[in-house]
Each structure stands twice: as structure tokens, then as C-alpha cells.
Structure 1
Amino acid sequence: MSFQGFPEAALDFYDDLEQDNSKAFWEAHKETYRLAVADPMNQLVEALGEEFGQPKVFRPYRDVRFAKDKTPYKTHQGAFVAVGPATGYYVQIGAPGVKVAVGYYEATPERLANLRAAINHDLHGPALEELIDALHVDGWEIGGSALKTAPRGWDKDHPRISLLRHKTLTASRDYGFQDFIHSPALVDRIRADWRSGTPLVDWALRHG
């Protein structure tokens, strides 16, 4: 079956799960999760996979082994298309609606050093600034994990210090509850946005 949109029941399911994140609730509503969340998400990423690559739909269970928060279930359903190490395209649905993102979500010390060297480069650094500015103007939210101060060995007055502080770098767009998330039109909307975010993904792949 092709993707027809996420039903309202998906949003209601996550609203309720945030209030009662328990095994008893999950067991009583697991069929709702399957029909309203898991099946549509698999259909959605299958429709996108031919262009962007093989997606991974994340499991709904939290790893609570070392977490203070022992609630067993994630309060959103995410999927990721990896085109490099922790780099690629993301989509999720939860109580706040649907959200998409692109970028790199983790970097080894060696990779982070390479990315910072590229940010420092007189050609590659300004190129990243330009594409980040273009995404921001287009309505993307620029995020990721960043240091509060300059990384060790870098001048705090570097012209691209805000980018050098990043350990991960992402651009995201929140669709919220817009009508198109409940229709097949969501596929084309995500496809267009992932395409517009591809320059950031490509930059990370080239320089990481």
C-alpha cells in the first residue's frame, strides 16, 4: 500500500503516550501504533528511498540501561537515511506533528578535526556559511550540538567561530499539524525539502 498520510490517530497516540508512558498503555494501544504510526512511516520512507537511499525506521523502545529517565517508549517515531557516518536525512512524527532534518549527527574526533579544518579553509568555510545562510533564509532552523566556547586551539575571534563550535550540525523544518501531513502530499514536500538540504549533507561528506 502506498503512503496516504499520517492519520489524526498518530498524533492522538503520542499525546496519550506522553501522559502514560507505560507498558500497560503500550500493550493496550500497540495496534494503534502499528496502523497509525509504524505502517505509514514505513510507507513514507519507502516512497522516498529510491531517491535518497535505504532508510532505517527506529525502534520505538528507549534504551534505559544508563538513563535516569526510565520511561520505556520514545515519544516520537523517527526514520533516518544514512548516506555517510551519522550523516543524512531524517523525519519524525510525534505529538507536535511532523519534522524533517538533514545534516550530521555525530562525529569522531578525527572527523570533527577534518570538518573544522574545512570550516577554517578560505574556500570551503565560506561555502558552508553561504549554504547555511541560504537554508536559514528558506525557513530552516540551524541546530546541532555546539560548545559554549571556542574549541581548544581555535581563536575565539575566528570569523567562523560559531560554526567551529559545532560538534554536530543540522538543519530542520517543522511541519507541525499542517493539513498535508495527513495526505500523500507529504511525500513530495519531504522530497523537496530533503533536496534543498542536500548541499549541507554533501558538504559534510566531502570534508568529513
Structure 2
Amino acid sequence: MAFTGFPREAIEFYEQLGADNSRTFWADNKQRFTDHVKTPMSELVEALDDHGPFHLFRPHNDLRFAKNKPPYKTHQGAFCEMEGGSGRYLHLSADGLMVAAGYYAMAKDQLQRFRDAVVADSTGRQIEELVADAASRRYEIGAIGELKTAPRGYDRDHPRIELIRRKGLMLSKDFGAPKWLHTRQVEKKVRECWAGAGDVCDWLDAHVGPSTEPPGDRPF
């Protein structure tokens, strides 16, 4: 079926899961998750398949190495990596829709290329200007994390040290749960968000690109 929007029941499901993140709740409400969350998300990423193929994340948290972690994720995410290396991401939660693009978590080889390109005057000024422009258009500038000081081998007084300290570079927008979330307008909003992040993603693809490290050595 074609995507027609996320039903209000999807938000209600995540509100209730947030209040009772238990296996009992999940067992009693699994069909609601399938009907109101997974199915429309699958239909949406199918409509966005020119960016794909997308991977839909599992609803279960990995509890093997974490203590006191709830058994279920409180959002449904979908991700794809473009040919050039940058990613496209979106998720639905009790708070509504979040859309993002870029490199959330860079592997070691990507970080080296990214930092060297930021240090270089021509490419560094360019990404600095692109990020500032994105911020002025109300994109959140984020990453998996950042160092508290300069990475080894880099000047802590460098004028672009804030970028150099990052472990990734991602642009995102939290749209919340406006009325259009329940309509097919979602697809248009997602496409517009990704298009607005295009210049930053193009820079990252040109100067960072995909990692060549084995998957087990990457931070994601």
C-alpha cells in the first residue's frame, strides 16, 4: 500500500511504551506496533527508495552488554547509506518525527580525512560556512560525540577546533507531531530536509567518503 501518513495511534503507542517498557506490554501490544508504526514506516521508506535501500532498525534493544537498559527502543528508525558515503536517517517516537543526514559516527579512517580537510584552509573554510548556513536554517548540528580537547596531532587553538573535535557531522531537524505527520505530506517534508542538507553531505562525500575499515572496527 502507498504511504498516507503515520496514524495518531503510533504516537500513542510510544507514549504508552515509554510508561511501561516491559515484555508484558510488548506482548500485549505487538500487533499495534506492526499496524501503526512498522507498516507505515515501511511504506514511507518504500516511497523514498530512490535514496535507499533503507534498513529498518529492530524494536528490541541489545541487552547483552548493558545494565538497566529497557528491552524495547522508544522509537522506530530507518537508515540508508548513499553511494558517496553520507547517510539518510529518520525516526518516529512519542515526540514525533526526526530527520537527519550526514555522518553520525565516523570510523578512524574517516575521522582522519575529515579533520585534515577541516584543517586545510580552502576546504575547511568551505565546510565552516556550510555548517553555519545550515544552523541559520534551523538545522541541529550533531554527531555521536566529540572530544573535550583537540585530538592528538591537531592544534587546540585552531580556528575550526570545534569542528575538528567532532566524531561525526550530522544535520537534523525535530519536527514534532504536527497535523501533517498524519498525512502523505511527511514524504515531502523528509525530502526537503535531506535536500537542505545536501551541500554539507556533498562536501563530506567528496572529502571523507565511505570507510574502508572492517565493519567490526567501526563505531556503529
Residues 19-30 of structure 1 mapped to structure 2, 5 A cutoff: 19-30=19-30
Aligned residue type for 1:164:
I
Deviates more, 1:194-203 or 1:175-184: 194-203
Does the alignment pair 1:167 with 2:171? no
State the number of aligned residues.
207
CA gap of 1:10–1:86, structure 2 versus 1, over 3 A, is farther
- 1:86, 1:105 within 8 Å by CA — same for their partners in 2? no
Residues 13-162 of structure 1 mapped to structure 2, 5 A cutoff: 13-50=13-50, 52-83=51-82, 87-144=86-143, 145-162=145-162
- 1:141, 1:171 within 8 Å by CA — same for their partners in 2? yes
Q: Deviations over 1:45-77 (max 9, x none)?
A: 111112x12111111111110012332110000
- 2:54, 2:78 within 8 Å by CA — same for their partners in 1? yes
Cα offset, 1:166, TM superposition = 0.3
Aligned residue type for 1:197:
A
How much is the aligned-residue C-alpha RMSD, in angstroms?
1.3
- Name the residue aligned to 1:199: 199
TM-score (norm 2): 0.90
Q: Deviations over 1:17-40 (max 9, x none)?
A: 111111111111111101110000
Deviates more, 1:112-121 or 1:99-108: 99-108
TM-score (norm 1): 0.95
3-state SS, counterpart of residue 68 of structure 2: coil
- 1:86, 1:107 within 8 Å by CA — same for their partners in 2? no
**1: CA distance between counterparts of 2:121 and 2:13?**
49
CA gap of 1:84–1:112, structure 2 versus 1, over 3 A, is farther
Aligned residue type for 1:118:
A
Aligned residue type for 2:157:
D
- Name the residue aligned to 2:212: none
Deviates more, 1:62-71 or 1:156-165: 62-71
Cα offset, 1:86, TM superposition = 7.0
**2: CA distance between counterparts of 1:95 and 1:105?**
22
3-state SS, counterpart of residue 98 of structure 2: strand
**1: CA distance between counterparts of 2:57 and 2:200?**
23
**2: CA distance between counterparts of 1:114 and 1:86?**
13
**2: CA distance between counterparts of 1:28 and 1:156?**
54
**1: CA distance between counterparts of 2:103 and 2:2?**
29
